[in-house]
A and B are shown apart, each in its own frame.
Chain A
Amino acid sequence: MSRAMKDRLIWAVTFLVMLIICLPGLWVVLSAFRTNGEILTKPAVWIPQNLTLDNFRAIFGLGENVLAIPVGSYFLNSLVISVTSTVLAVVIGMSGGYAFARHRFPGKSGAFLWLMLSRTVPGIALSLPLFILWSWIGLIDTKLGVIVVYTAINVPFTVWLTEGFFRQVPRDLSEAAQIDGCTPWQAFWKVEFPLARSGIASAGIFAFLTSWNEYALASQLTRSTDSKTLPVGLMDFTAQFTIDWAGMCAMAVIIIIPALILTFLVQKHLIAGLTFGGVKG
């Protein structure tokens, strides 16, 4: 086989694999614009006869068939919880990451390992004691309760990512700024922070995505429209005897769009952060 043929073959196989990767998601997106009747028809209708926005209207309570599921407030809860916990996790993680990158202290590698190990605890295992403790102190079914938990589960990763980026900023820069009369605090904000900014941003987006997508903990710590997030709300559709497939697909689209945009924004930094944090210890 000639080299050109071989290249073309590899390209075709790669393309096929990419199709398999994309197809499930695209099918869900397409179904979001179809009616339940068409989805349920036997034999299957492959080419959609009429595309409609009714599923989205129903979700936001605009159409004729109003849905009993308050997706609007779930969306708002998700947004408030994810943004707040992300901001907190980035601030806390940055402070910790800076300490690991710039300071020497006994027990440093041990502390780092323990921080990471705290992230390995499965959500469902952590939910058991949190469920009891949070109901004792009245944090069950509150946004605050979920925010605190998400902050804690995001901190190890933001520490790891920001540490990697701060280490890439030469130490001399901050020292030079201090010789020129900056306080350590000014040196940090004016010199080191801007240089590590892209890494910090990607740590933030990563934290946001974790919070936005989390299910195991939220499903136990939230109860009502006061605090239920989108992933938990998705299960509302299956609680009834029949599953509203079209409605679920529409909600899936709503959950995926913010994640889609953010991941594309951050993909380059994310890969750099993960690999360089790990490879060059």
Chain B
Amino acid sequence: MTRFRRYARDHAVPLALLSPAVLVILLVVLLPLLFSFYTSFSNYRLIRPDSLWDWVGFRNYARVLGDGDFWSAFGRTVLFLTVALNLEMLLGLGLALMVNRITWGQRTMRTIMMFPMMFSPILVGFQFKYLFNDTIGLVNNALQSLGLASEPIPFLVDRWLAFAAISFAEIWMSTSIFAILILAGLFAMPKDPIEAARVDGCSNWQVFRHITLPFLMPFIYIAMTIRSLDVARAYDIVDVMTGGGPAGRTELLWTLIARTAYDDARMGRANAMAYFSILLSIFFTWFFFRKLMAARRHLGAF
């Protein structure tokens, strides 16, 4: 206790300055999470309030782990994130390198590149629901007008097409974050090492592989870290595009949680699932944050 008191006295100013931030996060994030941790061990259902005190131990977790629907949603979520993050990174890198190369109209291109960042995920979802609609969607209309398809293609109904459609929406929304941050890295890059390498007879690919890319890595990892903070916003896209359907074919972990909690009113089980989704998000963020720190140390050695 005295140690705590001394700590508080010695660092009174920063503690006071930090206390509002800590307080609001304690109230809105930490306490609710402790509460949901408790409910994940109860048989809580929204329609029966007393069931909150119905302690069931690890039953919810056991049920979730033995549930095929959960595992297919979990697997689909991991696949979705892997596909989306990798493609976003590669496309963002390509886009940044292209914009960096052009001289005429570069500013305009850069502004256009930021366009998707302004869209709320719910709008992105709606936009692609409209574009990929099987009767009136732009994509189907174009394919039919060009004679490339005789029948409308059910983009949001077929299992893999729907997965591709939601991935496309996600990639459309988030590629620009990568492109912008990598472009910032390209602008900040010193020119001397590249010229020196050219003089020494390095090929374009060698320059890119051994000089440009290592320099860009911290910027790529910043983008990855920022993205991982918010991976779950794909929930909005999927919710409006397919709602996880048809028949659970595009169900991601997050839509499954929402359905279990609010449609089936099984709060206890949904909270157990929610903990898996929280761990998944923390894992992604922690993974890229570590990479960022390592890349930063590497860059510091330059």
Q: Point out the residues of chain A lying under 8 angstroms from B117, CB to CB.
A: 263
> Is B21's CB under 8 angstroms from A92's CB?
yes
Which residues from 1 to 28 on chain B have a C-beta closer than 8 Å to any C-beta of chain A?
A: 7, 11, 13-15, 17-18, 20-22, 24-25, 27-28
> Is A99's CB under 8 angstroms from B180's CB?
no
| Given A40-B136, A252-B127, A267-B114, also A216-B235 (CB < 8 A) | yes
Instruction: Tell yes or no: B144 within 8 A of A by CB.
Output: yes
Closest to A113 in B: B289
Q: Point out the residues of chain B lying under 8 angstroms from A153, CB to CB.
A: 28-29
Q: Which of B128, B226, B232, B257 has the most CB of A within 10 A?
A: B232
> Is B277's CB under 8 angstroms from A279's CB?
no
Please tell me which stretch of B101-109, B155-163, B205-213 contacts chain A, meaning at least 4 of its Cβ atoms lie within 8 angstroms of it: B101-109
Q: Point out the residues of chain A lying under 8 angstroms from B299, CB to CB.
A: 279
Which residues from 252 to 302 on chain B have a C-beta closer than 8 Å to any C-beta of chain A?
A: 254, 257-258, 261-262, 267, 270-271, 274-275, 277-278, 281-282, 284-285, 289, 292-293, 296, 299
Instruction: Tell yes or no: B112 within 8 A of A by CB.
Output: yes
> Is A279's CB under 8 angstroms from B145's CB?
no
Per-residue contact bits, chain A 90-121, to B (CB 8 Å; 1 contact, 0 not):
01110110111011011000010001111111
The size class of the interface chain B forms with chain A is 35 or more
Closest to B44 in A: A132
Per-residue contact bits, chain A 16-55, to B (CB 8 Å; 1 contact, 0 not):
0110011011011001000000011011101000000000
Instruction: Tell yes or no: A13 within 8 A of B by CB.
Output: yes
The size class of the interface chain A forms with chain B is 35 or more
> Is A271's CB under 8 angstroms from B184's CB?
yes
Q: Point out the residues of chain A lying under 8 angstroms from B104, CB to CB.
A: 11
Cα-based distance from A255 to B15 in the complex (angstroms): 39
Per-residue contact bits, chain A 230-253, to B (CB 8 Å; 1 contact, 0 not):
010011001000000100110010
Cα-based distance from A99 to B188 in the complex (angstroms): 28
Which residues from 88 to 124 on chain B have a C-beta closer than 8 Å to any C-beta of chain A?
A: 95, 98-99, 101-105, 109, 111-123
Closest to B141 in A: A44
Cα-based distance from A178 to B35 in the complex (angstroms): 47
Q: Point out the residues of chain B lying under 8 angstroms from A234, CB to CB.
A: 122-123, 126, 240
Q: Point out the residues of chain A lying under 8 angstroms from B239, CB to CB.
A: 215-216, 219
> Is B25's CB under 8 angstroms from A278's CB?
no
Distance in Å from the Cβ of A251 to the closest Cβ of chain B?
9
Cα-based distance from A121 to B37 in the complex (angstroms): 13
Instruction: Tell yes or no: B229 within 8 A of A by CB.
Output: yes
Instruction: Tell yes or no: B80 within 8 A of A by CB.
Output: no
Please tell me which stretch of B55-63, B66-74, B192-200, B217-225 contacts chain A, meaning at least 4 of its Cβ atoms lie within 8 angstroms of it: B217-225
Which residues from 119 to 154 on chain B have a C-beta closer than 8 Å to any C-beta of chain A?
A: 119-123, 126-128, 130-131, 135-136, 138, 141, 144-145
Q: List 9 A-B contacts (CB under 8 A).
A: A27-B138, A95-B20, A99-B18, A116-B229, A121-B29, A125-B274, A129-B271, A132-B46, A215-B236
Q: Known pairs A96-B21, A132-B35, A231-B236. 20 more at Cβ < 8 A?
A: A14-B102, A18-B112, A102-B14, A105-B11, A117-B285, A122-B231, A125-B232, A128-B267, A129-B35, A129-B39, A152-B27, A216-B232, A216-B236, A220-B258, A245-B130, A264-B111, A274-B184, A275-B188, A279-B219, A281-B296
**B contact residues vs A (CB 8 Å cutoff):** 7, 11, 13-15, 17-18, 20-22, 24-25, 27-33, 35-36, 39, 46, 95, 98-99, 101-105, 109, 111-123, 126-128, 130-131, 135-136, 138, 141, 144-145, 172, 176, 180-181, 184-185, 188, 218-219, 222, 225-226, 228-229, 231-233, 235-236, 239-240, 254, 257-258, 261-262, 267, 270-271, 274-275, 277-278, 281-282, 284-285, 289, 292-293, 296, 299
